[in-house]
Chain A
Amino acid sequence: GEDVEQSLFLSVREGDSSVINCTYTDSSSTYLYWYKQEPGAGLQLLTYIFSNMDMKQDQRLTVLLNKKDKHLSLRIADTQTGDSAIYFCAESMAPYSSASKIIFGSGTRLSIRP
């Protein structure tokens, strides 16, 4: 069945790089997403990658996709205290009808050490 898995916690030192990993099961995924959730707030789309790409870079964010292993990662360079949040990996299936179905992982809580 459809499943997205990620580790629950990650702690990094301020200024270091953070790497958040995710595995997914459905090889027919069209897009893969990273969302950020700050405490008590909704989810904010950080970036997405189309399944025929293997890398996407956007300022401090780098997304790597290994389609063979169904592995997605998000690297945050020069991690800052404002990066503290829960990061959700998500995949969207081939669309059915006109709505997208997105499957979310359980989220990785990133905490920053001084």
Chain B
Amino acid sequence: DGGITQSPKYLFRKEGQNVTLSCEQNLNHDAMYWYRQDPGQGLRLIYYSQIVNDFQKGDIAEGYSVSREKKESFPLTVTSAQKNPTAFYLCASSPGTLNQLPTYEQYFGPGTRLTVT
């Protein structure tokens, strides 16, 4: 089945440690995204990648880093510089305009809930 997987579902870390969240897709999508969701708030874009080996900062990139070495994978590292890392993190992908699909819709993974104490 095609889809997006995020692991683990729950992650606990001590303050000051870096942590990497996994995101994998087998939809053959060009574009991938990371969002952060806090209670009662919408999704805020952290980073996005249009194509392999390329990525851009979103609205709240400070304290985060990403890599896009493979089309299928877009891991997010939450560094110790992120002041308030506890949140629900969502990964998404979209075909991208390179595939001429017009709707620009994004497909989401199930999310990872990160708790830092």
Contacts and interface: CB of A to CB of B under 8 A. Distances in A.
Interface of A: 4, 8, 30-31, 33, 35, 40-45, 48, 88, 92, 95, 97-102, 104-107
Given A105-B42, A106-B42, A97 B107 contact: no
B97 interface: yes
A4 B110 contact: no
A45 B30 contact: no
B42 A99 contact: no
B25 interface: no
Contacts of A31: 103-105
A88 B94 contact: no
16 contacts: A30-B104, A40-B113, A41-B111, A45-B105, A45-B107, A48-B103, A92-B104, A98-B51, A98-B97, A99-B30, A99-B49, A99-B50, A100-B94, A106-B40, A107-B41, A107-B42
Residue from A4, A31, A98 having most chain B Cβ neighbours under 10 A: A98
A17 to B, nearest CB: 25
A75 B4 CA distance: 28
B90 interface: yes
Contacts of A99: 30-31, 33, 48-50, 94, 96-97
Given A41-B111, A98-B96, A104 B42 contact: yes
A8 B40 contact: yes
Nearest to A5: B42
A43 B90 contact: yes
A45 to B, nearest CB: 5
